[in-house]
Every structure is written in structure tokens, then in C-alpha cells.
């Protein structure tokens, strides 16, 4: 405040800024609040930052309003109206957009989205700008402004393969990845954030073993430190693991059938023809295409092949390098994930089966933390609601959920997120073109663990799972309504096709099915059914009718991000994760913090246990499970990530995923003594439950981790 208001002026702290925790202020001061380039003094307070963002994002309103022929005066009023709404939800910390929006909105920098996927074709550069070094350039530009990038490296020819133009040998995807990694190291010095990447290699690639080993064993604290890596696996692969059969490794370059086709189309065909033909929806789509286009498969808007060609591509003997035991590869994957956290898995079939605009092509990669499966050049802006702020105490002293207020806020949020796409400045034309055809947005949640604690529901309980499922449905429902409403006002996203569009709500698995797969026999308690009885009814038939009549403004609506930073700002638990520890040390770019969970402290006070000895003991252990004199109810409510059995972690991810259009970022945190077998079970369960990907992290398995539990004070 001194910095902003200058010397001599009385310091009048905005009461809303007083709600921010010490860590929140530290984080804001480090990179979010604008500073004067010369004096390095702050130019804004946190409230001024929220105002800057609200103002910048509301500007889109003015343009839409004017385009409809309204007067300037009227449009200024309307813009102001929405600016106030946007400011209110942010300053009350009920909703926060992803970091790039907070950092860049209303400034010279234009990237407002956190998630990007960049194509990497098998060429040094290409005229279209999607070769290897074009991708390196795109990555640098995106990092500079605080975005994160994901890549599928599967199109790169394997190590040792021929380079025709030089007669040399190819170095393969893993060595190219090192260059992307080094690029990240270089850029982070001057950029907005550290830089984060997702590297994907599909399980059919000949270099897959090398990829699986790239970050484990001796290499784990050395290689590809700015990457999360994931193996892209298909249903046929998981089946082969269970049946212990072999799978082909395919060289993306060696093929004689339709050499004119781009690699991406080729893989699309391979996967469609080889692995998808048994899937009803693809078969239907193909048959429909065959009928309408006279016997050919429609790949995307430009490429067509005949069904015979497709089968020939799928069975192209020249392309198959060898056959490998699926279970051997899988064992390697789970052993390394146990050892170092990498690689995770992406379930490519699940992702594509549930991709609402599947007719644009096949998705092969995600952003760094996995919550956004995207097509080449696509991006997505994220924003998260703090669920814990929607718990209130009724007149009888019982905690309840403010369902209607949540619905109202979601309507404002959808608008905010749609505006972000227009207000952003896109540094590469491909990025602008890709986002503007689908207008994908990703509304997510944080504070889920806090909400459960406030409601008195343990995280590892059927009650929590029941509530998650119905809450996720409520969020998706209200956003669908909001997006339809926006379509009425602003038009549908350009490539919307009401007969092809595949809504998320039509592909959600029933809750009973998920519980059965996980072997959960318990049923919800009366308490949860009562909480749910406050929820107004949803009518998906009505939504479908409206959608077909009116359209949709956004191809995807929901996405659950890790909320690593914005949950600190909001003072809540992150994403849908259980609380990590009741006391912990947090390592972030700006320093190390020792923190006691504030909600936990509140409860200790309630029980008059907030004495120094108790706090010291808890901080040393990190968890309450082994501490005497702590009431049982407190122990069950404050069970931490490591106290909770892996199965519950996966279930939470899976139930939220059912109503989420994009993906769910979640880490299944395992105790140090977890076994390889535990990891195997988690990976298989995640696939069976319909997750789009899965990651584990075993405590202390790496030399450096962001948060440590159990600190000696």
C-alpha cells in the first residue's frame, strides 16, 4: 500500500485485501501485481489487480453490444454491469481465473490461457510452421507469457532411422525432447513462470521403452526436469496387458499406402481402423460418412480415404517394426512411476470417445497437468470456483450447500470465460484460429476437501463420492445452460454441428456402475441425501432440446485444474485433492513456507486443542492418524492425502470426470512404503473407471518435491 499510494498519503487498506493470507500476498507480490519497470515499485494492490482483470475482461461486452446496433451509452452501462459482477466474484475469492489471466489481462501481454498443445511434425521446419523447431519457437513465446505447453512426439521417426535429405540417422523423439527441456530452462529466467510441459509418446512408437525410462532410475532428478511425461495408451493395449498378448510397434515414417496423407491423418486412420471399429459411435460415424461421401472415410474437413485404403494403412506390414509384450511394457511403466512419478498414462480412446467435437480429428496430447486434452494449436483458458465458499450454516446450525448461488455465479463465470477468448491477444495466428473455431473454456473447482470438512463428510467415504457426482453434474448443467444462453446472444462456436456434437452429459457413466467397478458396497447416508435434496432438479432432456434449437457457445465447458497458485490466493484446498497435510513445508519459486492448514487450526480452536505442544506435534508428524488425545471425528475429517487409500483418490477423479468435458488433473499421492503392485492397481482402476489419464506420486520418491509433510519445527 505504501508503494502504490506513495509517501505521505495515509495508508487505507481495503478490507477485502485483509482477507488474503500471508502466503497469498507473498505470491501476488512475486509475479502478479504490476510493478513499475523503472523503480520496481508496485503499481497496484490486490484489489486493483482484480479491478484491472474485471475491467479488461468486461471490454468484450462493449464490442458485442455495439455489434448489435446499441448506443454507446447503453453499451457502456452494460459493460459496467458485467465488470462489477466479474469484480465481485473475484474479490470475494469465490472464483479466480487461471494465473495468465490474472497476470496479463489489461496489460501489453496478451496470453490469458494456461493450456496449449503444439504440434510437432517430423521435419526440422515446415511451411505451415509445425515442424520441430517451429514448435520450439512457439513454446518460447507461450512460456514468456506464463502459459504451459503439451506435445505429442509420436510423429517423430525413431532413433537410428534414416534421414533422406542428408543420408544421416535420426536422433529420435527423446533427444529432441531434451532440447524443448533446455529451452524451458532458458526462458524461465525472464518469463512469468517456471515453465511446464507435457511430453506424450504413444505406446506403439518404437522408442517407447526409452521414453518410459527417460525420467527414472539414475535419470530421475536429472533428465527432462521441466516435463511431465505420459504414455498414450489405447484400449487395445490395456486389453493386451490383461490378456498378456503382444502389441505392434509402428514406425511413423515407413509406409507405402497413400504417402500423400499427413502423419496425423494416418494415425487417425490406424487408430480408427485398427482399434475403434468395434466402437459403436465411430462405426456409426464412419458408416454415415460412407453413405454421404460415396464410400470414403472422412478424417477431418480436408482428408478422405476409402475404407479399403484405411484397412491397408492399418495393416501396413512395412510400418510394423516388431511386436512387443504389452505386459512387459506395462510393468516398466508402473515400476518407473513407483520409482519417480513418471510416466503417467493418457487413455487416448477414452479421451477421443468423449471429445465433444470429435469430428475435428483425433486428440493425441494434453497440456502439462493433464486437465486439457487438446488438438494441435488449441488452447484453453481455465478458471476455478472455490466450493468451500458455498457452504453456509442454516438456522438450525446445520451446514448446507448454496446450490442456487452456485448456479447464479456459474452464469457469470461462463460469460467471463467466453470473453477471455476475445480479449486475449494471440501471439501466433494458428493459436487464434484454433481457439476461435471451438471457443473451448474450462471451468473447474478448488476447495473440494474444505467443502467436505465444513459439511462434516470424510473424503474417503461413499458420501463424498455421491456428493462429488451430483455436484459435478450441477456445475456442468448450469454451464450448459449458460453456454446455450450465450449462443442465443452471440451465436454458436463456428464449427458447431448440432447433429455431430457429442455432449458430455450423454456420455457420463452412471454412479452405480463406478461404485460397482471399484467394489464399493456402502450406500450414502441420510445426511448426504438431505444435502442433495436441496439441489434443484436437473432436466437434461430440456438441455438437449435447447441445444438443438439454439446451439452452444463453447465446445467444452469444464476442466479440473490443479489450481496450484490460485488456491493459495483463495485460501482454500487445491482442486479436488484431499488436504495434503495439516502442517507442511511449501517450496515455491519465491521461497519456502511452513504452513499450518488454517481450517485445521480453526477446528483445533473449537476443541481447545490449539496449544503450542499440540501444534508442534502435529507439524512434526504432518498427519493426525497416530497422535493421541485427538478426537476421532477430527481424525477422520482431516485425513490427509497419504492417510487416504489410493482407491478413493481414483474414485474422486473418476466421478468428477464423468461430468467434465475436458480432463481432471489429479495426483494419486502414495505413501513412501506403497508398492509397485499398488501403482499397477491404481493405473488399471483409473482406466476401468473412465478416467482420461492418471498420475501417481510416491512420497519422497524424488530429491525435490513441492511440498513435504512432517516438518521438524
Q: Which residues bind ligand ADP (CB under 6 A)?
A: 98-99, 114-115, 147-148, 193-196, 367-369, 371, 382, 561-566
Helix (H) or strand (E) holding 392: strand 391-393
Tell me the three state secondary structure of residue 305.
strand
Quote the CA–CA distance of 558 and 476 in Å, as a whole number.
7
Distances (CA, A) of 683 to 344, 671, 680: 9, 16, 5
Select 112 or 451, whichever has its Cβ closest to ligand ADP: 112
Q: How far is CA 348 from the centre of its chain?
A: 15
Helix (H) or strand (E) holding 406: helix 403-423
Select 240 or 576, whichever has its Cβ closest to ligand ADP: 576
The secondary structure of 488-549 as a DSSP string is: HHH---TT--TTT---GGGTPPPHHHHHHHTT------HHHHHHHHTSPP--HHHHHHHHHH
Question: Which of 197, 223, 221 has the alpha carbon at shortest distance from 210?
Answer: 223
408 in catalytic set: no
CB of 50 to ligand ADP, least distance (A): 15
Question: Which of 412, 396, 381 has the alpha carbon at shortest distance from 662?
Answer: 381
Joined together, the cell numbers standing for residue 596 give 499450518
Question: Which of 656, 649, 648, 666 has the alpha carbon at shortest distance from 690?
Answer: 656
CB of 226 to ligand ADP, least distance (A): 9
Select 179 or 307, whichever has its Cβ closest to ligand ADP: 179
CB of 98 to ligand ADP, least distance (A): 4
Bridge partners, residue 104, by sequence: none
Burial of 352 per CB tally in 10 Å (0-12, 13-18, 19+): buried
Select 238 or 424, whichever has its Cβ closest to ligand ADP: 424
Q: How far is CA 68 from the centre of its chain?
A: 35
Q: Do 572 and 446 form a contact (C-beta atoms < 8 A)?
A: yes
CB of 524 to ligand ADP, least distance (A): 30
Task: Catalytic residue, from 367, 381, 419, 669: name it.
Answer: 367
159 in catalytic set: no
The secondary structure of 310-347 as a DSSP string is: HHHHHT-GGGEEEEEEHHHHHHHHHHHHHHHS--EEEE
Q: Do 338 and 673 form a contact (C-beta atoms < 8 A)?
A: no
Task: Catalytic residue, from 61, 371, 476, 595: name it.
Answer: 371
* Angle subtended at Cα 643 by Cα 641 and Cα 648, rounded to the nearest 5 degrees: 70
Quote the CA–CA distance of 289 and 295 in Å, as a whole number.
8
Select 188 or 254, whichever has its Cβ closest to ligand ADP: 188
CB of 197 to ligand ADP, least distance (A): 8
Select 271 or 430, whichever has its Cβ closest to ligand ADP: 430
Select 195 or 343, whichever has its Cβ closest to ligand ADP: 195
Helix (H) or strand (E) holding 408: helix 403-423
Question: Which of 428, 439, 433, 424 has the alpha carbon at shortest distance from 110?
Answer: 424
Select 208 or 668, whichever has its Cβ closest to ligand ADP: 668
CB of 319 to ligand ADP, least distance (A): 33
Tell how many helices (H) and how many strands (E) occur in the chain.
27, 24
Quote the CA–CA distance of 115 and 146 in Å, as a whole number.
10
Tell me the three state secondary structure of residue 177.
helix
- Where b means 16+ CB within 10 Å and e means fewer, 22-51 reads ebbeebbeebbbeeeeeeeebebbbbbbbb
65 in catalytic set: no
Task: Catalytic residue, from 75, 369, 380, 691: name it.
Answer: 369
Joined together, the cell numbers standing for residue 213 give 525410462
Dihedral of the alpha carbons of 473, 371, 506, 293, in degrees to the nearest 10: 160
CB of 45 to ligand ADP, least distance (A): 20
Q: Do 543 and 484 form a contact (C-beta atoms < 8 A)?
A: yes
* DSSP label of 117: E
Q: State which residue has the least CB distance to ligand ADP.
A: 148
Select 28 or 314, whichever has its Cβ closest to ligand ADP: 28
CB of 236 to ligand ADP, least distance (A): 28
Tell me the three state secondary structure of residue 431.
helix
Q: How many CB atoms lie within 10 A of CB 413?
A: 25
Select 187 or 319, whichever has its Cβ closest to ligand ADP: 187
Quote the CA–CA distance of 117 and 268 in Å, as a whole number.
17
* DSSP label of 232: E
CB of 651 to ligand ADP, least distance (A): 22
CB of 180 to ligand ADP, least distance (A): 13
Quote the CA–CA distance of 332 and 322 in Å, as a whole number.
18
CB of 274 to ligand ADP, least distance (A): 31
Select 448 or 638, whichever has its Cβ closest to ligand ADP: 448
CB of 115 to ligand ADP, least distance (A): 4
Select 91 or 381, whichever has its Cβ closest to ligand ADP: 381
Select 144 or 350, whichever has its Cβ closest to ligand ADP: 144
CB of 103 to ligand ADP, least distance (A): 9
Q: Are strands 441-446 and 399-401 parallel, antiparallel or unpaired?
A: unpaired
Active site residues: 367, 369, 371
Amino acid at each position: 500500500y505504501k508503494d502504490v499510494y506513495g509517501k505521505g498519503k495515509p495508508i487505507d487498506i481495503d478490507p477485502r485485501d485483509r482477507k488474503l493470507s500471508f502466503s497469498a500476498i507473498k505470491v501476488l507480490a512475486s509475479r502478479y501485481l504490476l510493478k513499475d519497470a523503472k523503480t520496481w515499485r508496485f503499481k497496484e494492490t490486490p484489489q486493483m489487480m482484480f479491478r484491472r482483470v474485471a475491467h479488461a475482461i468486461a471490454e468484450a461486452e462493449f464490442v458485442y453490444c455495439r455489434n448489435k446496433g446499441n448506443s454507446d451509452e447503453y453499451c457502456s452501462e452494460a459493460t459496467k454491469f458485467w465488470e462489477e459482477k466479474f469484480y465481485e466474484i473475484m474479490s470475494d475469492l469465490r472464483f479466480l481465473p487461471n494465473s495468465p489471466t490474472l497476470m496479463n489481462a489489461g496489460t501489453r501481454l496478451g496470453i490469458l490461457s494456461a493450456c496449449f498443445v503444439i504440434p510437432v511434425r517430423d521435419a526440422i521446419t515446415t511451411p505451415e510452421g509445425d515442424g520441430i523447431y517451429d514448435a520450439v519457437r512457439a513454446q518460447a513465446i507461450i512460456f514468456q507469457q506464463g502459459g504451459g505447453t503439451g506435445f505429442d512426439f509420436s510423429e517423430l521417426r525413431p532413433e537410428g532411422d534414416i534421414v533422406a535429405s542428408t543420408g544421416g540417422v535420426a536422433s529420435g523423439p527423446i533427444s529432441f525432447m531434451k532440447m524443448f527441456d533446455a529451452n524451458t530452462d532458458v526462458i524461465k529466467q525472464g518469463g512469468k513462470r517456471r515453465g511446464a510441459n507435457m511430453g506424450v509418446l504413444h505406446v506403439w512408437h518404437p522408442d517407447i521403452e526409452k521414453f518410459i525410462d527417460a525420467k527414472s532410475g539414475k535419470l530421475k532428478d536429472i533428465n527432462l526436469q521441466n516435463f511431465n511425461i505420459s504414455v498414450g495408451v489405447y484400449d487395445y493395449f490395456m486389453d493386451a496387458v490383461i490378456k498378456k498378448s503382444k502389441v505392434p510397434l509402428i514406425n511413423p515414417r515407413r509406409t507405402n499406402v497413400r504417402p500423400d496423407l499427413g502423419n496425423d491423418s494416418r494415425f487417425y486412420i490406424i487408430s480408427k481402423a485398427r482399434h475403434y471399429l468395434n466402437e459403436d459411435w465411430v462405426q456409426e460415424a464412419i458408416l454415415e460418412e460412407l453413405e454421404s461421401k460415396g464410400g470414403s472415410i472422412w478424417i477431418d474437413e480436408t482428408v478422405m480415404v476409402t475404407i479399403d485404403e484405411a484397412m491397408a494403412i492399418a495393416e501396413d506390414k512395412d510400418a510394423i517394426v516388431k511386436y512387443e509384450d504389452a505386459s512387459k511394457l506395462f510393468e516398466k511403466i508402473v515400476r518407473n512411476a513407483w520409482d519417480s512419478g513418471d510416466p503417467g498414462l493418457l487413455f487416448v480412446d477414452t479421451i477421443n470417445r468423449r471429445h465433444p467435437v470429435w469430428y475435428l480429428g483425433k486428440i493425441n496430447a494434453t497440456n502439462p497437468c493433464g486437465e486439457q486434452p487438446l488438438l494441435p494449436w488449441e488452447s484453453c483458458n481455465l478458471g476455478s470456483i472455490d466450493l468451500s465458499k458455498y457452504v453456509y450454516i442454516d438456522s438450525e446450525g446445520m451446514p448446507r450447500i448454496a446450490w442456487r448461488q452456485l448456479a447464479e455465479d456459474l452464469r457469470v463465470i461462463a460469460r467471463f470465460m467466453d470473453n477471455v477468448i476475445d480479449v486475449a491477444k494471440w501471439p501466433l495466428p494458428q493459436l487464434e484460429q484454433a481457439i476461435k473455431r471451438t471457443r473451448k473454456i474450462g471451468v473447474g473447482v478448488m476447495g473440494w476437501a474444505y467443502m467436505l470438512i465444513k459439511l462434516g463428510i470424510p473424503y474417503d467415504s461413499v458420501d463424498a463420492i455421491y456428493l462429488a457426482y451430483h455436484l459435478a453434474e450441477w456445475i456442468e448443467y448450469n454451464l450448459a445452460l449458460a453456454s446455450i444462453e450465450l449462443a442465443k446472444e452471440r451465436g454458436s462456436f463456428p464449427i458447431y454441428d448440432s447433429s455431430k456434437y457429442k455432449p458430455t452429459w450423454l456420455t457420463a457413466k452412471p454412479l452405480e456402475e463406478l461404485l460397482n467397478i471399484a467394489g464399493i458396497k456402502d450406500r450414502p447416508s441420510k445426511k448426504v441425501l438431505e444435502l442433495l435434496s436441496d439441489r434443484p432438479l436437473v432436466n437434461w432432456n430440456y438441455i438437449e432440446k435447447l441445444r438443438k434449437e439454439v446451439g452452444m457457445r463453447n465446445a467444452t465447458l469444464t476442466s479440473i485444474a490443479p489450481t496450484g497458485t490460485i488456491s493459495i490466493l483463495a485460501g482454500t484446498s487445491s482442486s479436488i485433492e484431499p488436504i495434503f497435510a495439516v502442517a507442511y513445508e511449501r517450496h515455491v519459486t519465491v521461497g519456502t513456507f511452513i504452513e499450518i492448514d488454517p481450517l485445521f487450526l480453526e477446528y483445533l480452536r473449537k476443541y481447545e486443542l490449539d496449544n503450542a505442544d499440540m501444534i508442534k506435534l502435529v507439524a512434526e508428524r504432518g498427519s493426525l492418524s497416530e497422535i493421541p488425545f485427538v478426537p476421532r471425528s477430527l481424525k477422520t475429517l482431516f485425513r490427509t492425502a497419504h492417510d487416504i487409500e489410493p482407491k478413493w483418490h481414483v474414485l474422486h477423479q473418476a466421478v468428477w470426470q464423468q461430468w467434465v468435458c475436458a480432463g481432471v488433473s489429479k495426483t494419486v499421492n502414495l505413501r513412501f512404503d506403497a508398492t509397485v503392485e499398488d501403482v499397477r492397481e491404481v493405473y488399471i482402476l483409473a482406466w476401468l473407471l473412465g478416467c482420461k489419464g492418471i498420475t501417481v506420486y510416491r512420497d519422497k520418491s524424488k530429491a525435490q518435491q513441492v511440498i513435504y509433510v512432517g516438518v521438524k519445527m
